[in-house]
Chain A
Amino acid sequence: MRWIVAIALPALLPLVAGEYYINLASQIVIFAVFAASINLLLGYGGLPTLGHAAYLGIAAYVSALLQLKLGFGHWMAAPIAVLATTLMGGAFGLIALRATGLGFLMLTLALSQVLWGTAYRWVSMTDGDNGLRGLARPAPFGLDLNQAMPFYYFALLIGVVSIWLMARFVNSPFGATLKGARDQPRRMSALGYDVWLIRWIAFVYASFWGAVSGLLFVYYHKYIHPVSLSLANSAEGLLAVIAGGSGTLAGPLVGAAIVLLLKNWASAYIERWNMLLGFVFVFIVVFMPEGVVPGVQRLWKRFVSRT
């Protein structure tokens, strides 16, 4: 029932909202997939990453470069981009998972900064600070996605499937082992689990979904710039997860909505919207340190028990 409501409400949005809000909703869906992929690592694996934008950005760049430089169509470019990014995630995981905690955080940050710097400096390939332009949206089965509404439904479909598959993943036996490795890694080893391998698989899986969000990102914007690989982008994803509630399925979705609504909507009315974003995060951390979704659930339970 919850799933039906969660899908039906966004599906009805274009019936009541204008083009601006439909486009904003598309961005929220894309960012929600990105945040949910970070949540696999942070919330379920206990692995705080500050480099997840690398997967979003690389998938977007690979897809764009395959189209622009080699003339590939979307049906070829998309799977190659996702595969290449996931393989890169596998290689990065071998490096980053030599540490946990702050060490892991720093390694993921360092790896993504290497890519960000490369995207900036390798001008002949990426056009540097100008970014790659002239990209087209795909037209699956001849469906034109250049209008706001069809693209929104396309993004929503991919988003729902992505979130559903991530939900299956975390609720699977493997998901139970991932949570166990987060809570008691030493005990998990003593129970016969290869904790490192569990984390690496989760890392690769998260990079795969990061790549999917990157494809949606480049399809939406029809443009890719090195900033998509930046620390700021990774940090925004991480903040969305923390604000919404890490280790919950709905948390990253709510967090993504909070971040993008503040960025896009509030910035239209408030000049110093960054300050507002900061205040909102401070408010969440002070009053709902576990995040908005678990926090609201806690307050609701308290309200119900009183009444």
Chain B
Amino acid sequence: MEALRIQNLKKAFGGLPAIADVSLSVQAGERRLIIGPNGAGKTTLFNLLTGDLPRDAGSIELFGAEVARLATHRRVHLGLARTYQIITLFPNDTLEHNVALSLLGLSRTRWNTFGRLPESFYREAHAVLARVGLETVAKRPIAEVAYGEKRRVEIAMALAQKPRLLLLDEPLAGLSREERAQVKSLIGAIPRETTVVMIEHDMDTALDMAERITVLHYGRVIVEGTRAEVVADPKTREVYLGH
């Protein structure tokens, strides 16, 4: 079954095509890496998939359902989750409250205007933070934790929603070698029920994590295949590896 199917997707900013014409398909459970030089349209593609940006043309199917016209929050309720390249958390709230907000997003409790946020949300948030190794700092505000920990909170918030399709936008960006290893093993432990599509610049690390790789250049898919196929393709070497 296809987790994601994109056909002839297009998006331009003021006449400049960021996504010129992208068609691709990701199978359920797959680990897909999207690479490409700066300005290739990788993050724009994610923003179109989530609905952060409206598309100009084309279709986006999520587990067989056309979602291109749906608002972002509706796509999330169909099983889509994402992390951001630039960390987007609630800096004054604790780590556990950030994750609890993520859990609340898919719960009917979010419409409760009178009661308190049930303790069960914090217990579950604590469990998710334990999965990413942050249970000891769960009660600290986001503003007081290190950058690498914030990255892991981003991933924890996405994982808390038990998504069917997870979009990771440069999850290793700005991390130390040790932190990269932690986040890499965290991504490696994501269950197969969750399809993972990841943008990453660090080729050495990212290539081992993907089963298939899509190379974007000037808003078009120029190469797609396994690691060996993509690395061997002269177009990849030309646009991405630089020789």
Contact = CB atoms under 8 A, between A and B. Distances in A.
Interface stretch (A20-28, A180-188, A222-230): A180-188
A172 B112 contact: yes
B207 interface: no
Most B CB within 10 A of own CB, among A168, A169, A192, A194: A192
Contacts of A192: 73, 76-77, 105-106, 161
B82 A190 contact: yes
B73 A172 contact: no
B113 A194 contact: no
Interface in B65-111: 71-73, 76-77, 81-82, 84, 88-90, 92, 97, 101-102, 104-106, 109-111
Contacts of A195: 73
A183 B93 CA distance: 11
Nearest to A197: B73
B113 A169 contact: yes
B114 interface: yes
A82 B242 CA distance: 68
A193 to B, nearest CB: 5
A173 interface: yes
A190 B110 contact: no
A183 B142 CA distance: 13
A176 B101 contact: yes
Given A183-B90, A184-B88, A173 B76 contact: no
27 contacts: A172-B114, A172-B115, A172-B117, A173-B104, A173-B112, A173-B117, A173-B118, A174-B111, A177-B101, A177-B104, A180-B90, A183-B90, A184-B89, A186-B52, A186-B88, A189-B52, A189-B72, A189-B76, A190-B72, A190-B81, A191-B73, A191-B76, A191-B157, A192-B73, A192-B76, A192-B105, A195-B73
Most A CB within 10 A of own CB, among B76, B89, B114: B114
Given A187-B89, A193-B110, A171 B116 contact: yes
A173 B73 contact: no
B114 A193 contact: no
Contacts of A169: 113-114
Interface of B: 50-52, 71-73, 76-77, 81-82, 84, 88-90, 92, 97, 101-102, 104-106, 109-118, 157, 161
Contacts of A189: 51-52, 71-73, 76
Nearest to A170: B113
Contacts of A194: 71, 73
B151 to A, nearest CB: 15
A190 B52 contact: yes
Contact of B114 (A168, A176, A187): A168
A180 B88 contact: no
Given A177-B101, A191-B104, 20 more contacts: A173-B104, A173-B111, A173-B115, A174-B112, A176-B97, A176-B101, A176-B117, A184-B90, A188-B101, A188-B105, A190-B76, A190-B82, A191-B73, A191-B102, A191-B105, A191-B161, A194-B71, A194-B73, A201-B113, A205-B113
Contacts of A177: 101, 104, 110
Contacts of A183: 90, 92
Most A CB within 10 A of own CB, among B51, B76, B110: B110
A75 B76 CA distance: 46
A187 B101 CA distance: 10
A116 B129 CA distance: 53
B18 to A, nearest CB: 18
Contacts of B88: 184, 186-187, 190
A176 B52 contact: no
A300 B94 CA distance: 24
A172 B90 CA distance: 17
Contacts of B97: 176
Contacts of A175: 113
Nearest to A171: B116
Nearest to A202: B113
A181 to B, nearest CB: 11
Nearest to A183: B90
A34 B52 CA distance: 36
A192 B173 CA distance: 25
Contacts of B114: 168-169, 172
B155 to A, nearest CB: 13
Contacts of B105: 188, 191-193
A291 to B, nearest CB: 16
B104 A176 contact: yes
A132 to B, nearest CB: 34
B76 to A, nearest CB: 4
Contacts of A176: 97, 101, 104, 117
A186 B112 CA distance: 22
A205 B110 CA distance: 16
A169 B115 CA distance: 8
B94 to A, nearest CB: 12
Nearest to A169: B113
